[in-house]
């Protein structure tokens, strides 16, 4: 969608995810400082205390996929929100699952090997889209 900057897309995606989590009885907190965690989803677990899940959001107006090695080994759940401004769809996965979706070919690129990051602004590869749909359930 033309005219939307990345901050607007991120805010729209974050608002949509928060509304979906709240609709499912899950509370949400926003960290004061961004250190790679965009939201914390949590719920009272009775005798077990509070169960919390740190979330990293990747929001796009189309179908985009990206991964950064800085999220590895941190226990952060990735949420990819596609078509934020039209008909949002979310895919939830661990870093390991996102790395599997990325695939060996992309993970072996210079971009990922040297800088720890890889992104696709348009997911034209049918296998990536299919992998996301079959591996991960949407929250919406």
Residue 126 confidence class, pLDDT cut points 50, 70, 90: low
The CA distance from 45 to 30, in Å, is 20
Contacts of 76 (CB under 8 A, 6+ apart): 36, 37, 54, 55, 56, 95
CATH number where 118 lies: 3.40.1350
Instruction: Tell me: pLDDT of 55 over 70.
Output: yes
Could you tell me the residue range of the domain that residue 67 belongs to? Answer: 6-135
Within a domain: 1: no
Average pLDDT over residues 80-106: 87
The confidence band for 36, taking pLDDT boundaries of 50, 70 and 90, is: confident
Which of 75-79, 83-87, 135-139 is predicted with the least confidence, judged by mean pLDDT?
135-139
The reported pLDDT for the residue numbered 137 is 42
Number of structural domains (the chain) is 1
- pLDDT of 40 > 90? The answer is yes
Model confidence, pTM: 0.84
Domain for residue 140, yes or no?
Answer: no
* Any domain includes 40: yes
The tens digit of pLDDT for each residue in 15-35 reads: 999 999 999 889 999 999 988
Q: Look at residue 38 in the predicted model and tell me its pLDDT.
A: 95
Is residue 30 within 8 Å of residue 80, measured between CB atoms?
no
* Cβ count within 10 A of residue 81: 27
DSSP-derived pairing of the beta strands 77-82 and 50-59: parallel
Q: Is the pLDDT of residue 2 over 70?
A: no
Tell me, yes or no, whether 25 lies in a domain. yes
Report if residue 63 sits inside a domain.
Answer: yes
Strand order in the sheet with 50-59: 27-29, 39-44, 50-59, 77-82, 89-93
């Amino acid at each position: 969608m033309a005219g939307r900057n990345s901050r607007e897309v991120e805010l729209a995606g974050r608002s949509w995810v928060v509304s979906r989590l709240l609709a499912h009885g899950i509370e949400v907190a926003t960290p004061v400082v961004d250190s790679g965690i965009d939201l914390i989803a949590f719920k009272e677990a009775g005798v077990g205390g509070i169960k919390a899940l740190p979330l990293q959001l990747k929001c796009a107006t189309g179908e985009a996929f990206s991964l950064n090695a800085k999220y590895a080994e941190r226990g952060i759940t990735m949420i990819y929100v596609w078509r934020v401004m039209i008909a949002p769809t979310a895919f939830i996965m661990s870093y390991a699952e996102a790395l599997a979706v990325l695939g060996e070919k992309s993970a072996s690129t210079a971009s990922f090997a040297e800088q720890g990051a890889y992104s696709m602004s348009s997911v034209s590869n049918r296998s990536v889209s299919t992998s996301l749909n079959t591996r991960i359930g949407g929250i919406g």
